[in-house]
Amino acid sequence: MTKNFEDKLGQGGYGSVYKGKLRSGHFVAVKLLGKSGADGQDFINEIATIGRIHHVNIVHLVGYCAERSKRALIFDFMPNGSLDKYVFQREKYTSWDWDMKFKIAVGVARGMEYLHHGCDIQILHFDIKPHNILLDDKFVPKISDFGLAKLCAAKKEAVTLTAARGTIGYVAPELINRSIGSVSYKADVYSYGMLLMEMVSLNKNLPQNKDGSSKYFPNWIYDYLNQSRDIDIENTDENDDRKIGRKMTIVALWCIQMCPDSRPSMNKVLDMLEGGVEHLQIPDYTTYVARNEEESWGTDSNDSISVLHDDNGSNIIEILSNA
């Protein structure tokens, strides 16, 4: 299928992805799990989750292979790769018009809304980030990588986790500190808000304080919006572009509220995105993180985290690179 794995598309903590071709001529992406998935849990989890999903904004599972210790997942091939290849490469991303960025943002939101409320069971992804948003030949976004996903009852308000899951910079604060609130689908909403921040590129050119340090960017955005000032959003020449950028910014601020209960559902997110920007209210200012924690919530890392508990009851953050 892959001609002896000759065309490598990418690699992560889970293993490697190769381009393949079925006998029918259909191109696929073959995700070959590495040793980290030897226990089979991530493999079974992803098949059980994505195998029951059929949505235009969710990657389609074509099949899977399992032979001895070797396991592979076969997906539709996405010729335009993942969103991170555009968001983190400015020369590529600035060539996109704002209609394209907005359509991708809405497409991801629709896929997440389906996961949370459109299935017969609620699916929490727990790793929404640009790296896990694939783009087909028409740049339609597809949510991928369900290795960290959790299934729960459709109307269940909270889930129990023995360890945090997600990626630094996108993981919701309640997954790190349970005193903030219960863990629910609102954790995905937080991750989506951080993804929007990346798409608007607001955290790329932060103004520095007099002492040379950068201000935590949601607080900086609040200061500008509350003073009725226009944020200098990259590559926005037309008024309509500024409206799109402002809309995505305000929605992102709602999504990354510290308290999970203050964040909107993905149904509400779609209503805000598809409505007029003049009807959007800026959420109340809240203190997101303590001053000495601000750097730990940056979005430049692609490391996944797990929070373990030792015998003394303290939290230990374990870094799992590129998971």
Measured distance CA(66)–CA(285) in Å, rounded: 50
Do 168 and 301 contact (CB within 8 A), yes or no?
A: yes
In this prediction, residue 265 carries a pLDDT of 96
Do 192 and 128 contact (CB within 8 A), yes or no?
A: yes
Sorting pLDDT into bands at 50, 70 and 90, what band is 314?
Answer: very low
What's this model's pTM, rounded to 2 decimal places? Answer: 0.80
Residue 30 C-alpha from the chain's centroid:
21
Sorting pLDDT into bands at 50, 70 and 90, what band is 168?
Answer: confident
Place of tokens 């389906």: 114
127 is catalytic: yes
Taken in order of first residue, the domains within the chain and their CATH numbers are 8-76 (3.30.200.20), 84-320 (1.10.510.10)
Higher per-residue confidence, 166 vs 104: 104
Our CA angle for 116, 177, 215, nearest 5°, is 95
Place of tokens 């508990």: 309
In this prediction, residue 224 carries a pLDDT of 60
- Indicate the length of the chain as a whole number: 323
pLDDT at 297 over 50: no
Lowest mean pLDDT among 103-107, 219-223, 272-276, 304-308: 304-308
Question: Taking residues 111-134, what's their average pLDDT?
Answer: 93
Q: What is the pLDDT of residues 209-252, one digit of tens each?
A: 444 444 455 666 666 666 555 555 555 556 788 889 889 989 99
- Active-site entry in 39, 42, 76, 127: 127
End-to-end CA distance of the chain: 25
In this prediction, residue 290 carries a pLDDT of 37
